[in-house]
Amino acid sequence: MDIFFDTTVLVAASSQSHPHHQQAFPALRRVATGRDKGFISTHSIAEVYASLTRLPVEPRIHPMEAARIVTDNLLPHFETVPVSKTDYLGALTVMKDGGWSGAKIYDVLLLGCAAKCSVDRIYTFNLADFRLLAPASLRGKVCAP
C-alpha cells in the first residue's frame, strides 16, 4: 500500500514518549520493512526536526539526536516528494480562497505532495484540518494510522 505520512505521525512514531507512539510506530515499521511504501514531503524533513527538538518530553530530544532520527530512521525508508515554488503559490491560493490563516498552510502543502504521488492513504493525527483542507479526491484517503 502507498501511504503519505504527515509530520504528526512521523514525530509520534519517532518518540516513545509521544502519546500516539503506540499507534504510529507500527505504520513506520511497515514502511521500514517494505510491507508498505511510504512518502513524505521534503518540507516534513524540517518540520520533523523542529517538532522533535520542541517536544515537551523528558529528557528533551537533543538537536543531534533529532537530526539522527531524521537521517537514519526516516529518510532511508521514505520516498521524498519535493515542494516547488508553484506548490507554495498553490497553497497560498487555497488558503486565500478558503479564508484560512496560520499553520493550515503546511497541511495544504502536504496534501499537495500526497496528490502528486497518488497514494492510497494519508496518515495524520490532524484529521479535522486535513479533511477540511483536502480536495474531494483526497478526503476519503485521510485517516489515522
Residue 101 belongs to domain spanning: 2-143
**Residue corresponding to grid cell 530512521:** 73
pLDDT in tens, 87-131: 999 999 999 999 999 999 999 999 999 999 999 999 999 999 999
Mean pLDDT of 27-43: 98
Distances 16 to 52, 61, 78 between C-alpha atoms, Å: 11, 11, 20
Percent of the chain with pLDDT over 70: 100
Distances 112 to 40, 85, 130 between C-alpha atoms, Å: 11, 12, 11
- 85 in Cβ contact with 109 (< 8 Å): no
List 37's β-bridge partners, or say none: 2
pTM: 0.95
CATH number of the domain to which 122 belongs: 3.40.50.1010
Query: In which band, very low, low, confident or very high, does the pLDDT at 59 lie, cut at 50, 70 and 90?
Result: confident
Distances 127 to 6, 41, 134, 144 between C-alpha atoms, Å: 10, 18, 10, 7
Q: What is the pLDDT of residue 136?
A: 96
Domains identified in the chain, total number: 1
Q: What is the pLDDT of residue 73?
A: 96
Query: For residue 77, which of 27, 22, 11, 15 has the smallest C-alpha distance?
Result: 27
Residue spans of alpha helices (H) in the chain? 7-14, 21-32, 42-54, 63-68, 85-98, 104-116, 127-133, 136-139
